[in-house]
Structure 1
Amino acid sequence: MTEAGNEDVQGGVRGAGDGVHGQVAPGWEPVRDELAAFVAGERHSPEAQLVLHHKGLRVVDLWTGEDTGPDTLGTVYSITKGAAHLVVALLVQEGRIDLDRPVSAYWPEFAGHGLERLTVRELLAHRSGLIGVEGGFTYEELTDDAALAARVVRAEPYWEPGTKYGYHAMTIGALTGELVRRVTGRTVAEEYDERLRIPYGLDFFIGLPEELEERWAPILPMLPTNEQLAARAALGGPGELQLVAFNWNTEPRLDLVDFANDRRVRAGGPASSGGVGTARGIAGMYAAALELLEPETAAECARLTTPGADAVVPQQDAFGLGFERQPAVGDRAFGHSGAAGANAFADPATGLAYAYTRRRFAFPGGAAPENDRFARVAVEVAGRLG
């Protein structure tokens, strides 16, 4: 078993006192320059890590911030969905899950309100309508995927299943996980550990062991400018479905920073939102995906299954096989972002595996804008180096 590009950067160059630390391999200096330029323009450190693999080798290994090093573990929110969906993709590749069979063929209780007709492909495309429940979930439910799946599958969907798509922010990992459990008899975390984390030595956990808590550092709150606050106010608040999907229909409303910093979340490892890792670990996972996935399976991961507008959040043409598409990279790339500003992906076209994590919440949330800058430069360098 190879280590999917987990080797140290060889022959790299180190920083020059500009707040960016680490190494890049020869030829990859433009990525470092782009990160340094971004950091120089920020009022507050993003406390970030940026790692790239190219064709199986780690070529960029950078970090920035007073309280962030290369081994600092952070809660990465929806980056965790990518790990869960990679497990599903491997089961599809092995023929154990058929994308076009009804979910109910594997999970008989997935029925009622038209759910019994929903296919696995449609479930992964955020088409079930099971985005939440009236009054929201408790912390106990949010940190226990089995309990969350059992409750949400009994609820009435927020639209007729299969007729539209909308981001299942807090539930898709539990639904995916229950499908995996019905097929394999094991949790998605157990499958992930056996197939990916342990053999590839990944510093990315669905359920953080207590002995690693000393390496974990908290998510930091957003510090928007007055101009950003005014721009957000002009757009208005979240819609009704977004309130449900992000469990903001509770009293008090769920605070995403407090959620990520709660030990119950890190220990429980909800597959929608509770993974903990480093950019090294996450990039290593996507490098492993490039090694493990056959070309047709990788194409399924990236193929658009959700044309048009998302019913929950303001995005367009968003999903492949549970993965978010990566328009800044190319049509063959697939990955997933995380609420504090992180993003990660694999791109079979260039052989790139990318991970950017940040512990300071970016404005306005979701994949931070700088990801496009970093990804475009990385693609340019990969094209030049071949």
Structure 2
Amino acid sequence: MMQQSGSTVQGTVAEGFEAVREEFAAIVAAERPDYVGQLSAYAAGRRVVDLWAGPDTDGETLYGVYSSTKGAAHLVVALLVQDGTLELDREVAHYWPEFAAEGKGSVTLRELLAHRAGVIGADDGFTAEELADDRVIAERLAGQRPFWRPGTAFGYHALVIGALTGEVVRRTTGRSLQEMYEERIRAPYGLDFFLGLPKEHEGRFRSVLPMDPTPEQQAVFAAFQGGPHTVASIAFNRQGAEPTDIETLPNARVVRAKGPASVGGVASARGLAGMYAAATTGADGLPPLLKPDTVAAFGQIHSIGYDVVARSHKSFALGFQATADTWYPFLGAGAIGHSGAGGSQGFADPRSGLAYGYTRRRYAFPGGAAPENERLAKAVHTAALAS
């Protein structure tokens, strides 16, 4: 490993990954003075990039990673499918009978994971306390009429997909998704990626800074949300008595403590990259969690085209974003990952043996993977192929 000198960019890169450090340094230099971010990557199960920059941070600092949490949640589901505990083509109601209400009886676990169920939120919205509790979300949505006929379209179940799949996990195993993640994934691999942040780690957490958009950016953001009863507003819980402020969501202790499986994860870049390495190649001498056939099945595109929530082109695998199509076309087919609204990104590219994690403190406009991820992921991928 080679140590980066100076106070702007800190950390290490392995031989052959020096260009990644240079790309990260260039991005840091171009950002606003209060930029804070972390970058980590594994190649063939070995950590080869471990960088950070900005005040009051280091490689162990933890940030809210929003929807990057969905990658951790659905790694649990993938393990249970691999075990034979869950079957992708079984109806959700087979595991969770109450879910059959309002015409949802034929929805399969596969369709739910591919964002095709149409159960994107509740008609009257959720309170902040309810949104932090997956059990409450699941109980409310069991009786919710879908917002489109299940299977006919797809749309991002942004704040609720982890609660829905988590209830399937709970009904099948008797354990919460968060408990399964802790026991089978986080603790064995020592990952700094928590679904439910223990109090003793609170001192490592740094609150999210708002995105501070220009007037033009704010207008774009407002136009996307639309009126109070649009599909997008319902999916992002903007229509109820307590509209959700996505930007500040991880700053609430109740969200960090309960770790809702759609958006409540707290992680470092090391934790993000380490989880995807653990899933696909193994990490730090431990074997991979998933067999190649399982990775291939969960990385296969299931929904592609017009997302009725985002109102734009999106693509989803099973529980994961189809990362090559959604974000980075230079990645191999079957890459799995998930971005987070604040700018975080984690993914695994099984064909190159690469696992990637990125976090930043300030919420990145317009939400989702921050733009700099494309440059950083490309640099890491190029170095991994060359090595």
2:375 aligned residue (346, 353, 373): 373
Q: Which digits, 9 at most, give the CA deviation of each residue in 1:313-365, with x for residues without a partner?
A: 14424110110111212322101111100000011101111000111001111
* Pair 1:195 & 2:192 matched: no
* Aligned equivalents of 1:105, 1:252: Cα separation in 2: 33
Tell me if the contact between 1:45 and 1:64 (Cα under 8 Å) persists in the aligned partners.
no
Letter in 2 for 1:286: Y
Partner residue, 2:224? 237
User: What is the DSSP-based 3-state SS (H/G/I as helix, E as strand, rest coil) of the residue aligned with 1:356?
Assistant: strand
* Aligned equivalents of 1:251, 1:114: Cα separation in 2: 27
Letter in 1 for 2:124: G
1:303 aligned residue (300, 304, 324): 300
Match runs of 1:341-352 below 5 Å: 341-352=343-354
* Aligned equivalents of 1:56, 1:213: Cα separation in 2: 28
2:262 aligned residue (254, 272, 291): 272
- CA displacement at 1:20 relative to structure 2: 1.2
Letter in 1 for 2:88: L
Aligned pair in 2 of structure 1 residues 260, 163: CA closer, same or farther (>3 Å)? same
Comparing 114-123 with 244-253, which one deviates more in the overlay?
A: 244-253
Tell me if the contact between 1:219 and 1:261 (Cα under 8 Å) persists in the aligned partners.
yes
Structure 2 length as normaliser, TM-score? 0.93
- CA displacement at 1:112 relative to structure 2: 2.5
Tell me if the contact between 1:304 and 1:317 (Cα under 8 Å) persists in the aligned partners.
no
Letter in 2 for 1:72: T
* Aligned equivalents of 1:308, 1:128: Cα separation in 2: 16
* Aligned equivalents of 2:197, 2:368: Cα separation in 1: 23
* Aligned equivalents of 2:233, 2:33: Cα separation in 1: 29
Aligned pair in 2 of structure 1 residues 292, 157: CA closer, same or farther (>3 Å)? same
* Aligned equivalents of 2:93, 2:240: Cα separation in 1: 30
Letter in 2 for 1:276: V
User: What is the DSSP-based 3-state SS (H/G/I as helix, E as strand, rest coil) of the residue aligned with 1:82?
Assistant: helix
* Pair 1:320 & 2:309 matched: no
Aligned pair in 2 of structure 1 residues 91, 315: CA closer, same or farther (>3 Å)? farther
Q: Which digits, 9 at most, give the CA deviation of each residue in 1:24-69, with x for residues without a partner?
A: 0111011111111111111243311100000010000001111221
2:207 aligned residue (218, 222, 227): 218
Match runs of 1:137-152 below 5 Å: 137-152=126-141
* Pair 1:99 & 2:88 matched: yes
* Pair 1:263 & 2:270 matched: no
Match runs of 1:157-196 below 5 Å: 157-196=146-185
Q: Which digits, 9 at most, give the CA deviation of each residue in 1:175-216, with x for residues without a partner?
A: 010011111110001110111111101111111111111111
Partner residue, 2:361? 359
* Aligned equivalents of 2:369, 2:20: Cα separation in 1: 18
* Aligned equivalents of 1:254, 1:147: Cα separation in 2: 16
User: What is the DSSP-based 3-state SS (H/G/I as helix, E as strand, rest coil) of the residue aligned with 1:52?
Assistant: strand
Partner residue, 2:50? 61
* Aligned equivalents of 1:292, 1:86: Cα separation in 2: 9
* Aligned equivalents of 2:214, 2:29: Cα separation in 1: 16
User: What is the DSSP-based 3-state SS (H/G/I as helix, E as strand, rest coil) of the residue aligned with 1:318?
Assistant: strand
Match runs of 1:58-137 below 5 Å: 58-137=47-126
- CA displacement at 1:99 relative to structure 2: 0.6
Partner residue, 1:8? none
* Aligned equivalents of 1:141, 1:22: Cα separation in 2: 39
* Aligned equivalents of 1:215, 1:195: Cα separation in 2: 23
User: What is the DSSP-based 3-state SS (H/G/I as helix, E as strand, rest coil) of the residue aligned with 1:254?
Assistant: coil
- CA displacement at 1:113 relative to structure 2: 3.0
Spell out structure 1 runs of 4+ moving beyond 3 A. 225-230
Tell me if the contact between 1:79 and 1:273 (Cα under 8 Å) persists in the aligned partners.
yes
* Pair 1:253 & 2:243 matched: yes
Partner residue, 2:385? 383
Structure 1 length as normaliser, TM-score? 0.93
Tell me if the contact between 2:128 and 2:242 (Cα under 8 Å) persists in the aligned partners.
no
Comparing 353-362 with 221-230, which one deviates more in the overlay?
A: 221-230
* Aligned equivalents of 1:370, 1:314: Cα separation in 2: 23
* Aligned equivalents of 2:217, 2:23: Cα separation in 1: 23
Letter in 1 for 2:199: E
* Aligned equivalents of 2:178, 2:380: Cα separation in 1: 31
* Aligned equivalents of 1:89, 1:237: Cα separation in 2: 32
* Aligned equivalents of 2:194, 2:237: Cα separation in 1: 23
* Aligned equivalents of 1:358, 1:347: Cα separation in 2: 22
- CA displacement at 1:229 relative to structure 2: 4.3
* Aligned equivalents of 1:53, 1:151: Cα separation in 2: 40
- CA displacement at 1:226 relative to structure 2: 4.9
Q: CA RMSD in A?
A: 1.5
1:294 aligned residue (269, 291, 295): 291
Partner residue, 1:7? none
* Aligned equivalents of 1:118, 1:274: Cα separation in 2: 26
Q: Structure 1 regions of 5+ residues with no counterpart?
A: 1-10
- Count of residue pairs brought into register by the alignment: 372
Percent same amino acid among aligned pairs? 54
* Aligned equivalents of 1:89, 1:226: Cα separation in 2: 42
